[in-house]
Amino acid sequence: MSEEATDDVVKVIRTPVQLDYNYSAGKSATRFLRAMKEGKLIGQRCPVDGRVYFPSRGSCPMHGVPIEGEPVELADTGTLVTFSIVRIPAEAVPLDVPFVTVQVLLDGADTVLMHLLGNCELDDVHMGMRVKAVWKPKEEWTESVANILYFEPLDEPDADYDSYKEHI
């Protein structure tokens, strides 16, 4: 190794780090993930105020009560509540930039789902637009939200602002 002195400063070093997790899904998430494998979107309704959480979960974080009722099957259509146009590539995202991340309020749900938008010009993306899920081929479905590839615009009038403003 050379012992020559240098004034060069190391500005960046690369230190790959990886953590593997074993995640215990529990009853509620298990039901949700098994439904995903069947192409169904399952939420659950809070017994106090009736809000529908998607994905389903075992308790309501607002009221601190268990959610044990029947699951609520949701449509794969919804309203784009907010979005972000991503122009910087990320190693964990196998997409060419720019791409669009979106928060979608599925029809019948009271919580938003973060996903991707496709088949849409960047200049056309806007809050309130109606969208529909684009699924992988059925034979590729697993217990994963990744069965939905992305959302794409629906040929419908925009949703009223009042219908999604509390989710922004």
Q: From CA 147, how far away is CA 142, in angstroms rounded? A: 7
Q: From CA 149, how far away is CA 131, in angstroms rounded? A: 13
Count of positions on this chain that bind Zn ion (CB under 5 A):
5
- Figure out which of the listed residues 62, 85, 97, 146 binds Zn ion, where binding follows CB under 5 A: 62
Cβ closer to Zn ion: 60 or 105?
60
- Figure out which of the listed residues 25, 48, 122, 168 binds Zn ion, where binding follows CB under 5 A: 48
Written as one string, the DSSP assignment of 31-100 is HHHHHHHTT-EEEEE-TTT-PEESS--SEETTTTEE--S-EEEE-SEEEEEEEEEE-S--TT--SPSSEE
Cβ closer to Zn ion: 35 or 67?
67
63 interacts with Zn ion by CB under 5 A: yes
Cβ closer to Zn ion: 32 or 99?
32
Cβ closer to Zn ion: 27 or 126?
27
Beta-carbon contacts of residue 40 (< 8 Å; ≥ 6 apart): 73
138 interacts with Zn ion by CB under 5 A: no
| Binding residues for Zn ion (CB under 5 A) | 46, 48, 60, 62-63
